[in-house]
Amino acid sequence: MPRPRCSLAKGLAALAGALALLAIVGCGGGAGVSEGATVVAYVDAPLCAGAKGRLAKQGGEAGSVRVRVSCLANDRDGARLNLAAVGANARRATEDSATVVYIEAPAVPSFSRPIVEAAGIPLIRSNSGEAAMGQLLSAIAEADSGSLRDSVREALN
């Protein structure tokens, strides 16, 4: 016979996991983004300066949507890629319901791709933060009234 406390703890853990998954999956859906809303672009550390510069030239907006850059922690230890940092960066982006894109440098293997794609977050791989931000701003400007993440993903593909 299972212990009631263990069963309860396992049940609560499963429920918490299911709710977290629903929050991640659901954050890109719905009726779109309201006017004046703020969305976040998670950007690989080496690309942040260019992305922020391009965003500043646009006044921090794409149409009626405000865009914010969140610079990811450096995931490199010298020339070596720190896979734990890559995973932590990708998970951080998936936990933010305002995330609209994940931008990373293509110089390293894309270990973050399966994490962000499972959450429905579009991925841009670019050598230029400025160019990647330009792509994002254009995609947001072209977005329809549905899910902004879905519209951005379609515009980027």
| Tally of domains in the chain | 1
Q: Which CATH number do you get for residue 99?
A: 3.40.50
**Rounded to 10 degrees, what is the CA torsion of 117, 106, 126, 96?**
40
Is 55 within 8 Å of 133 (Cβ atoms)? yes
The residue behind tokens 């993440």 is 149
pLDDT, tens digit only, all 157 positions of the chain: 555 554 444 443 443 343 333 333 334 443 445 667 899 999 999 999 999 999 999 999 998 899 999 999 888 877 788 889 999 999 999 999 999 999 999 876 778 999 999 999 999 999 999 999 999 999 998 887 678 888 888 888 8
Distance CA 44, CA 72 (A): 5
CA triplet 102, 104, 107: central angle to 5 degrees? 160
Domain, as residue range, for 68: 4-156
Amino acid at 133: M
pTM for the full predicted model: 0.76
